[in-house]
Amino acid sequence: MDETLLVEHLRAARWQEIIILDEVESTNGYALQLLAEGTLRDGAVIIADRQTAGRGRFKRPWFSDGGLALTVAVMSGEPPHRVGPVTLNAGLAVAKGLKAATGHDFYLKYPNDVMSEKEHGKKVAGILVEAKPAQGGTALIIGIGVNVEQELFPDEINSIAASLHQLGLEARREVVAAEILNALEDDIERPFCDLREEWLNMDCTIGKAVRIKNLKVDVEGIAAGLDGDGALLVETARGTERITAGDVIFGE
Ligand code: BTN
């Protein structure tokens, strides 16, 4: 990672400390370690050229060789239950940052996937937010993985993941990182209700048959909307359900 090139494209003043690592288990894990040691600063950015144990949501592995692995730390004065749907804010910023870096339109699949197309798109980026109580508020560890230069993915995700390179979009990881950081500065601390319209303009979830896994009971229905708190509204046989967790799978 060429820090000079990154800084050349960085307009945001919010991100003061940029830590670039050759290799780490996980940039989120590294941020959590700094937090435990008391040295994680608000606005810190951690970028690794390689993660040996990158993690996705629900403890899934995240393959980031050839990709961008970036974590930012935001210290919120709010307790964890009041910080709002930061994943949604971050997803919007990532989609906007990718558009700025490549000129291509990206779409948001609820809650945390950035997709290459509105219909039948592949996953280009994902977000893992880890929130920990800290200093009377909450440390938000916002991890972003973007598929940038990968030529191939492991068999199990090859049909659902795509890199910018595979899409014919050549962008330097430094430029992608800087544009995401520029967009994050604008969006990460805004109340979600202010961003809802913009999120909906890039959404590719609503109107589709969805199945939400990983809750106690699977929910199946049609994604019908997003409320001002960032919950997905799903029309089911039992009526409208509000979904704030779980994995959304598009129905067959
Ligand atoms: C997902 O889609 O499940 C979330 C993927 C998040 C991956 C990023 S890469 C940078 C940061 N460090 C990690 O270990 N995970 C996140």
Task: Kindly report, residue by residue over 74-133, the tens digit of the pLDDT.
Answer: 999 988 878 879 999 999 999 999 999 999 999 999 999 999 999 999 999 999 999 999
Which atom of ligand 1 is found nearest the CA of 64? Answer: 9
What is the 28 CA–ligand 1 centroid distance (Å)?
8
Which residues touch 82 (CB under 8 Å, ≥6 apart)? none
Which atom of ligand 1 is found nearest the CA of 54? Answer: 14
Q: How many Cβ atoms sit within 10 Å of the Cβ of residue 123?
A: 18
pLDDT at 178: 98
What is the 123 CA–ligand 1 centroid distance (Å)?
13
Structural domain spans, the chain: 3-201, 209-250
pLDDT at 251: 60
Ligand 1 pocket test, pick from 21, 49, 59, 64 with the greatest ligand atom count within 8 Å of Cβ, gives 64
What is the 79 CA–ligand 1 centroid distance (Å)?
23
Average pLDDT for 145-149: 98
Pocket of ligand 1 (CB under 6 A): 26-28, 51, 54-57, 60, 62, 64, 69-71, 112, 126-128, 143-145
Measured between alpha carbons, how far is 47 from 69 in angstroms, rounded to an integer? Answer: 6
What is the percent of the chain with per-residue pLDDT over 70, rounded to a whole number?
97
Residue 68 above 60 pLDDT?
A: yes
For the ranges 81-90, 122-131, 136-145, 186-195, which has the lowest average pLDDT? 81-90
- Is the domain spanning 209-250 CATH 2.30.30.100? The answer is yes
pLDDT at 246: 66
- Identify the three-state secondary structure at position 172: coil
Tokens 């494209």 belong to 9
Average pLDDT for 224-240: 93
Which atom of ligand 1 is found nearest the CA of 26? Answer: 14
Q: How much is the mean pLDDT over the chain?
A: 93
- Identify the three-state secondary structure at position 223: strand
pLDDT at 252: 44
Average pLDDT for 21-47: 97
Which atom of ligand 1 is found nearest the CA of 48? Answer: 10
Average pLDDT for 64-72: 95
- Is the domain spanning 3-201 CATH 3.40.50.300? The answer is no
pLDDT at 218: 83
For the ranges 64-73, 131-140, 211-220, which has the lowest average pLDDT? 211-220
Which atom of ligand 1 is found nearest the CA of 53? Answer: 14
Relative orientation angle of helices 86-102 and 173-187, to the nearest 10 degrees: 140
Residue 247 above 90 pLDDT?
A: no
pLDDT at 16: 86
What is the 4 CA–ligand 1 centroid distance (Å)?
24
What is the 114 CA–ligand 1 centroid distance (Å)?
12
What is the 185 CA–ligand 1 centroid distance (Å)?
19
Model pTM? 0.95
Task: Kindly report, residue by residue over 31-43, the tens digit of the pLDDT.
Answer: 999 999 999 999 9
Which atom of ligand 1 is found nearest the CA of 55? Answer: 14
Among 55, 42, 43, CA closest to 126: 55
